[in-house]
A and B are shown apart, each in its own frame.
Chain A
Amino acid sequence: MTTTQVEQSALQTDSEPLLRADAVSKTFISGTFRKHYTHALDTVTFSVPESPPTITAIAGESGSGKTTLARTVLGLVEPTAGEVVYRGANVAEMSRAQRAEFRREVQVIFQDPFESYNPFYKVDHVLRVPIRRYKLASSKSEADDIVVEALRTVGLRPEETLGRHPHQLSGGQRQRVMVARAVMLKPKIIVADEPVSMVDASLRATILETLRAMNRDLGISILYITHDLTTAFQIAENIIVLYKGRVAEAGSVESVINDPTHPYTQLLVSSIPQPDPETQWGREQDSRDEDEIPLTGCNFYDRCPVRADECMSADPPLYRTAENRITRCYNYADSPVHLAADLRSVFAR
């Protein structure tokens, strides 16, 4: 594919997306006397279209910047550079009315369902508060109906859930109440930050299936933030792999996970413990060499098994290695450079 074609395909999707992260960077500064800069996010650009509703996984290890990206998208962290735009408005500069709408339409589910609750209140409380705040109901009975409906949507029986305290529910039930709370507000987007990592295996499947149903039946787009490539594979259409705040590889989830091109993604995929005793762990080893951290060039250099001298000279661009794939590695320098900033143009639909 030539460069012009790449640009054209980017143009085709150029109608204003629902949500757009535009060259978002976030640098955290710590230290009193000697400043220490942590580049948690480095010019990350992607978007969520108005339609069709999508599920996009944002994957990475701790320190990859995935949670910072989630918090930036939610407007909880202000980017150092770049902007997050929702329905054409910069999230950092929204009016009160815009922000209220944004807060309702972009919902979040956090990792630990226990921490999202006040242990002294009954479960009903977390469901009642948003109804009141967003005036979703004009009467008590209407509010009851909304709560019951939302619980049924996520597969919970209201009579077994309401009137209980958080500790009387299982982790999976608590997390599903959180999904119910998010769904009740009829959001456009749910940002799910490791929603199943604290949940037992038997309940994990149920929650993932619930999220899938929210996407399919209610038209909600989901940003699925995770360290777990297996659940990302199951739930998402497309995936963005972050490494130290930068996009290492992105594309359709099948291609990225079944045939990873970036050495980092290859390392991640080969580290997945497959639930199959006949499929033993791959041989790939982490070749981390802490004496080899370059000041310029590829940020994966110190761990890369195929590093070469040129990798130190400059940060590699994203190469478009296939229709639905980009990867930030000089190994693919024969492929055209991906010029369109937004990753949406390489995503499978």
Chain B
Amino acid sequence: MTIATSTSEAPLAVKDLKVYYHTRRGPVKAVDGVSFELRRGERLGLVGESGSGKSTIALALMMAHKEPARIEGGSVLLNGSNLLDDNNERVRLRRLSEIAMVPQGALNSLNPVMRIRDQVIDGLKDHNVRMSDGEFSQRVAELLDSVGLHRDVASRFPHELSGGMKQRVAIAIAISMNPSVIVADEPTSALDVVVQKQVVQTLREVQERIGAAAIMIGHDMGLMAQFASRIGIMYGGKIVEIGPVSNIFNNPRHPYTRLLISSLPDTRSKRRLEGIPGLPPSLLRPPPGCVFHTRCPEAMDICRQDIPQTRELDENRFAACHLYNDDDGKVVVL
């Protein structure tokens, strides 16, 4: 059972994380008891629809969530030490050096009036990296090389770069201090399909080269199939199923995962496209029992009453669904 053991070696172990948005009408439980572990060098895809809590997880992992969002509980063990216990200064130092983010739109994350070179060096200096100017320039050139950009890009401004080039710069900055975890939140959402492929492949290459673990957050199952080695499916603030990418696609077990996979169009054969009927749940007043029961074609009485526990159904694959209560898969206490 890998979800809860070997914590000491895992670069990232998230346990029972809860992030609520506090509104006048009460807490919106955007992330409600999420646990997962990232192993060294692995690529996890976190998939979910809008409102499933996936982007809130990304923000919380970077400790970049803002009011009215608050972390209500759980722990985020980054290289064995809980990020939630750290003060602001320590969190700042651990960002970039231990956990770094490739943001959604690099268009907005780069400083428009600063040359690329200075933006890369800025992060390093901010983390007390001391080098001579020549060494800094050398490091910038190496980083640009590693993401497939020409060294000349260093002297350019963001507006002189295409969307794909900017996203590569964002990757270069993210790996500038060899972090052990890279968090990529929909890193290609505004890019054309050809550029999207290049950016995702670049991300994969550098992740493998520096041996970091990566989490990619998104809704595009196609991208996940190409990138991830393991996939977690989010629904209503929870991970409902998590497992190796081939198991998730070829033999989904949670009814939501099944419907999601069967709703995906491909270019092999034309067929009737089936969506998932109904609406995502209100996270302000989540339904009792299983959060998916209102849309689940297999819902039983128990689903309306009891929150399903997460079980290991087969090796490395976990799902939270009452359908598997009779299986011998043991309950994982999260």
Contacts and interface: CB of A to CB of B under 8 A. Distances in A.
Interface stretch (A3-11, A120-128, A183-191, A278-286): A278-286
A208 B265 contact: yes
Given A61-B194, A201-B260, A233 B270 contact: yes
Interface in A205-250: 205-209, 212, 227-231, 233-234
Interface residues of A, number: 42
Interface residues of B, number: 40
B280 interface: yes
A227 B192 contact: yes
B82 interface: no
A271 B194 contact: yes
Interface in A194-210: 200-209
A81 interface: no
Dominant SS among interface residues on chain A = helix
B171 to A, nearest CB: 17
Contact of B194 (A173, A202, A205, A286): A286
B43 to A, nearest CB: 12
Contacts of A286: 194-195, 198
A275 B49 contact: no
Interface in B197-245: 197-198, 200-201, 219-226, 245
A272 B326 CA distance: 40
A173 B279 CA distance: 9
A114 to B, nearest CB: 12
A38 interface: no
B193 A61 contact: yes
Contacts, number: 118
Contact of B49 (A201, A208, A234, A279): A201
Interface string B165-201: 0000000000000000000000000001111111011
Interface string A170-196: 111100000000000000000000000
Nearest to B220: A273
Most buried by A among B220, B260, B263: B263
B192 to A, nearest CB: 4
B26 interface: no
B272 A61 contact: no
Interface in B117-143: none
Interface of A: 61-62, 170-173, 200-209, 212, 227-231, 233-234, 257-258, 267-281, 286
